[in-house]
Amino acid sequence: MPFTLATWNINSVRLREEIVLRLMREQAPDVLCLQECKSPVDKIPLEGFQALGYTHMVARGQKGYNGVAILSKIPMEDVSGYDYAELGHARHVAGKLANGVTIHNFYVPAGGDKPDRTINEKFGQKLDYLRDMQAGFLAEKPERAILVGDLNIAPREDDVWDHKKLLKVVSHTPIEVEALAAVQAAGDWVDVTRADIPEGKLYSWWSYRSPDWDTADKGRRLDHVWATPDIAGLASGSRVVRDVRGWEKPSDHAPVFATFDV
DNA sequence: ATGGTTGCCCAGCAA
* A9 in a known ligand binding site: yes
Per-residue pLDDT, A123: 97
| Burial class of residue A51 (count of CB atoms within 10 Å of its CB; 0-12, 13-18, 19+) | exposed
Residues 6+ apart with CB under 8 A from A134: A179, A182, A183, A186
Per-residue pLDDT, A211: 83
Per-residue pLDDT, A52: 98
Is A188 noted as a catalytic residue in this protein? Answer: no
**pLDDT over 70 percentage in chain A:** 100
Catalytic pick from A30, A150, A159, A191? A150
Is A203 noted as a catalytic residue in this protein? Answer: no
pLDDT in tens, A169-216: 999 999 999 999 999 999 999 999 999 999 999 999 999 998 899 999
* A78 in a known ligand binding site: no
**What average pLDDT does range A221-226 have in this prediction?**
98
* A252 in a known ligand binding site: yes
Q: Give the span between the Cα atoms of A203 and A125, in whole angstroms.
A: 25
Contact A44, A34 (CB under 8 A): no
Q: Give the span between the Cα atoms of A206 and A177, in whole angstroms.
A: 19
pLDDT in tens, A32-80: 999 999 999 999 999 999 999 999 999 999 999 999 999 999 999 999 8
Q: What domains, with CATH codes, occur in chain A?
A: 2-261 (3.60.10.10)
CA-to-C1' span, A211 to B10 (A): 26
Q: Give the span between the Cα atoms of A233 and A254, in whole angstroms.
A: 24
> Which nt is closest to the CA of A9, judged by C1'?
B15
Question: Where does the pLDDT of residue A260 fall: very low under 50, low under 70, confident under 90, or very high at 90 and above?
Answer: very high
From the DSSP assignment, how many helices (H) and strands (E) are in chain A? 7, 14
The overall average pLDDT reported for chain A is 97
* A143 in a known ligand binding site: no
pTM: 0.98
CA-to-C1' span, A78 to B7 (A): 28
Q: Give the span between the Cα atoms of A146 and A130, in whole angstroms.
A: 17
Residue A256: helix, strand or coil by DSSP? strand
Q: What is the largest CA-CA distance in chain A?
A: 50
Catalytic pick from A54, A84, A107, A129? A107
> Which nt is closest to the CA of A152, judged by C1'?
B15
Per-residue pLDDT, A80: 85
Q: For nucleic chain B, which protein residues have CB less than 7 Å from any of its atoms?
A: A 11-12, 14-15, 36, 38, 63-66, 109-112, 122, 208-209, 211, 249
Burial A183-206 (b: 16+ CB within 10 A, else e): bbebbbbbbbbbbeeeeeebbbbb
**What average pLDDT does range A77-93 have in this prediction?**
95
Write down the H helix ranges in A200-261. Answer: 213-216, 229-232
Contact A96, A102 (CB under 8 A): yes
CA-to-C1' span, A113 to B2 (A): 14
Q: Check residues A26 and A80 and name the one with the higher pLDDT.
A: A26
Contact A213, A245 (CB under 8 A): yes
Is A150 noted as a catalytic residue in this protein? Answer: yes
Question: Where does the pLDDT of residue A147 fall: very low under 50, low under 70, confident under 90, or very high at 90 and above?
Answer: very high
